[in-house]
Amino acid sequence: MASSEPRAEGASTEQASPHASPLDEAEALARSGAGGADAPLHDSVGRGARNGEPYVGGRGGGNQLGGRGLWARIGIGLVGIALAGATVWAVETAPLPHYAISPSALVLSPAPGDQQRVCPGPLTLLGQSSANPTAVGYKGYAEIVTAGNTDDLDISGIAPAVEAPASAPEPTEDAIGVPAYYQAPGVVGDRATILAISQSSAATEPGAAGFSATACTPASADQWLVGGSTAGGASTVLTLANPTEATATVRVSLYGLEGGLPAPGLDGIEVPAGTQVAVSLEGVAPEQAAFVAHLTTRGSVIGAALHEVGLEGLQPQGAEVISSSPSPSSRLDFVGVPFPTTAADPDEAMFGTRGAVLRLFAPGDGAAAVTITLRDGSGEALEPISLTLAPGVVSDVPLGEAPAGRYTVTVDGDSPVVASLRTSLVAEPFDFGWYQPSPPLDGATAIAVAPGPQPRLQLSTVGTIPVTVTLVHPDGTPERVTLQPRQTTELDVAAGAYRIDGMLQTVAQVTYDGPGQMSGVPVVGGSPLAADVTVYR
């Protein structure tokens, strides 16, 4: 029976089966020419001719899909995306198995090497003999004090490389007339050796008068000397002592207030084994108000010192033997330094003839910003001094505005510097002293107090908590002292061997004050032991 419903114009006479698959429907449309030119235009998503269901396609009606089929496929796609995201999240967050093999480690503790010290000997001058201007002249002798483990201490003199005075006495444990080398085993029993040695000397001659006390330091291949002058009647001699059995070749880089100084003959000084060489800085850098010297050595190690004498007309202005300074550091502490007077003229103080002067040097390639803080014994601080140091240029900073008294001076920098502090007496008899920084110490160390006028032990802590230390006197009597942060404690001592226990970031110095005599010796620890070495295999 013919259908009673009208057919649309151009529609196919073939009817799709209600149970036909989408492929069958596509084939039927293709056979009927529904995709031809006369087919009606549809939107990309529009209504098809069958049951008003949506289809997807362009002109000609493409593949027709049922509404439920389209949304099902969209839902399946979303589920797939969700499953993929969940998989990625699980991989990123889930703990993965970890396999590791711990390497076997062997800790090696090197045996401590011998403890060794070089004492520079008495005040050393050149040009004292008209017959031999290059001959070394020693002013008197130096008294020696040793402290710590000294039972097996070996002592040997270091002879000048040129003609030596015939009257120079042989070195002993108590006195030396020439530089001397001291050596002790690195271990006593099962403990590392503790050793401290210091010297003092007094010159009383018309052309050189003054008192100096100096720490005897380990020989080194790299060291700094801060101090000395060849201006205004001052003279300075550099001494290089080689305690070893091999020749040392020393390069001296010399700096002044204008920067690096041309120093002919200082680029490769040969110091034969077991000898001392002395160089007059007046001959290589005359009329220089300030020196800093950096010494590097090949072939061996040396002990170095500066011997400075002040002279104004025929009037002696003092003398000092200056030992090597600690390595460059961003913090330096000078403990309990006496400021005998307030300098009225800062320019005069700046050139070191009166008052207190802090000599600073930045060895790096860039400028160094530093802050200088002076604190009295109670810890009260004066107005800090801030300045920027040009690299490679010596700076003498006058501290003459500080009232007369005793101060602990701290230098804080944003990069490492070297420094030394000079104070002087302004009343006759004159003298001056160069004071070196004291390193912070922990635990125990020995203190050798050399003979001199009114020796005092200056103690402070750079930490933030009180520290109780025990000072053991030469007769074995213990003295307990509690050090408060920022404060300086002063103890009267006498020449002899001391021991101090319980230190924690403690800085200390022995100072000497008397008519026409002043100097200071920083307390330093023994030679550092080699650190443990861990070997992995």
pLDDT in tens, 236-280: 999 999 999 999 999 999 999 999 999 888 989 999 999 999 999
**Is there a contact between 307 and 142 (Cβ–Cβ < 8 Å)?**
no
Of 179, 180, 183, 214, which Cα lies nearest the Cα of 323? Answer: 214
Of 100, 23, 121, which Cα lies nearest the Cα of 63? Answer: 23
Q: Describe the chain by its helix, strand, coil percentages, rounded to 5.
A: 10, 45, 45
Rounded mean pLDDT of 486-502? Answer: 97
- What are the pLDDT digits (tens) for 115-164? 899 999 999 888 665 566 667 778 878 999 999 999 888 988 887 765 54
Q: 357 vs 108, which has greater pLDDT?
A: 357
pLDDT at 38: 43
Q: Please give the Cα distance from 247 to 273 (Å, whole number).
A: 5
Q: Helix H segments across 153-295?
A: 281-284
Of 283, 253, 257, which Cα lies nearest the Cα of 268? Answer: 253
Q: 254 vs 61, which has greater pLDDT?
A: 254
| pLDDT higher than threshold 60 for residue 20 | no
CA 335 vs. chain centroid, Å, equals 19
Min mean pLDDT across 45-54, 107-116, 512-521, 523-532 is at: 45-54
| pLDDT higher than threshold 80 for residue 299 | yes
pLDDT at 37: 41
pLDDT at 67: 56
- What are the pLDDT digits (tens) for 367-424? 999 999 999 999 999 999 999 999 999 999 999 788 889 999 999 999 999 999 999 9
Highest-scoring range by mean pLDDT, 10-19, 187-196, 287-296 = 287-296
Q: Is 449 exposed, middle or buried (0-12, 13-18, 19+ CB in 10 A)?
A: buried
Farthest CA pair distance, the chain: 154
pLDDT bin (cut points 50, 70, 90) of residue 496 is very high
How far is CA 29 from each of CA 32, 53, 291, rounded to the nearest angstrom? Answer: 5, 15, 106
**Is there a contact between 409 and 495 (Cβ–Cβ < 8 Å)?**
no
pLDDT at 88: 56
Of 190, 162, 192, 167, which Cα lies nearest the Cα of 177? Answer: 167
pLDDT at 171: 67
| pLDDT higher than threshold 70 for residue 189 | yes
| pLDDT higher than threshold 70 for residue 193 | yes
**Is there a contact between 368 and 420 (Cβ–Cβ < 8 Å)?**
no
DSSP codes joined into one string, 341-387: ---S-HHHHHTTSSS-EEEEEB-SSS-EEEEEEEE-TT-PBPPPEEE
Token readout for 475 is: 């007769």
Q: Checking phi first, is residue 476 left (phi over 0); if not, alpha (psi -120 to 50) or beta?
A: left
| pLDDT higher than threshold 90 for residue 54 | no
Q: Please give the Cα distance from 406 to 489 (Å, whole number).
A: 11
Rounded mean pLDDT of 465-472? Answer: 97
Rounded mean pLDDT of 59-83? Answer: 60
Q: 529 vs 503, which has greater pLDDT?
A: 503
Of 385, 336, 339, 393, which Cα lies nearest the Cα of 363? Answer: 393
Q: Please give the Cα distance from 355 to 418 (Å, whole number).
A: 21
**Is there a contact between 512 and 79 (Cβ–Cβ < 8 Å)?**
no
Helix (H) and strand (E) counts for the chain?
4, 39
| pLDDT higher than threshold 50 for residue 46 | no
How far is CA 61 from each of CA 26, 31, 69, rounded to the nearest angstrom? Answer: 9, 13, 17
pLDDT bin (cut points 50, 70, 90) of residue 233 is confident
pLDDT bin (cut points 50, 70, 90) of residue 101 is low
- What are the pLDDT digits (tens) for 324-339? 999 999 999 999 999 9
pLDDT bin (cut points 50, 70, 90) of residue 85 is low
pLDDT at 100: 59
Q: 242 vs 77, which has greater pLDDT?
A: 242
| pLDDT higher than threshold 90 for residue 451 | yes
- What are the pLDDT digits (tens) for 201-227? 998 877 788 999 999 999 999 999 999
Beta-bridge mates of residue 339: 405
Give percent of the chain above pLDDT 90.
Answer: 55
pLDDT at 70: 66
| pLDDT higher than threshold 60 for residue 481 | yes
**Is there a contact between 400 and 342 (Cβ–Cβ < 8 Å)?**
yes
Beta-carbon-side half-sphere exposure of residue 432 (alpha carbons within 13 Å): 32
| pLDDT higher than threshold 50 for residue 42 | no
Min mean pLDDT across 36-45, 173-182, 203-212, 322-331 is at: 36-45
pLDDT at 428: 79
What are phi and psi for residue 130, nearest 5 degrees?
Answer: -70, -25
pLDDT at 354: 63
Rounded mean pLDDT of 279-307? Answer: 95
pLDDT bin (cut points 50, 70, 90) of residue 76 is confident
Give percent of the chain above pLDDT 70.
Answer: 72
Highest-scoring range by mean pLDDT, 4-8, 16-20, 97-101, 158-162 = 158-162
Mean pLDDT rounded to a whole number for the chain: 81
The whole-model pTM stands at: 0.77
Q: 486 vs 50, which has greater pLDDT?
A: 486
Rounded mean pLDDT of 172-184? Answer: 85
| pLDDT higher than threshold 70 for residue 491 | yes
> Which amino acid would we find at residue 460?
S
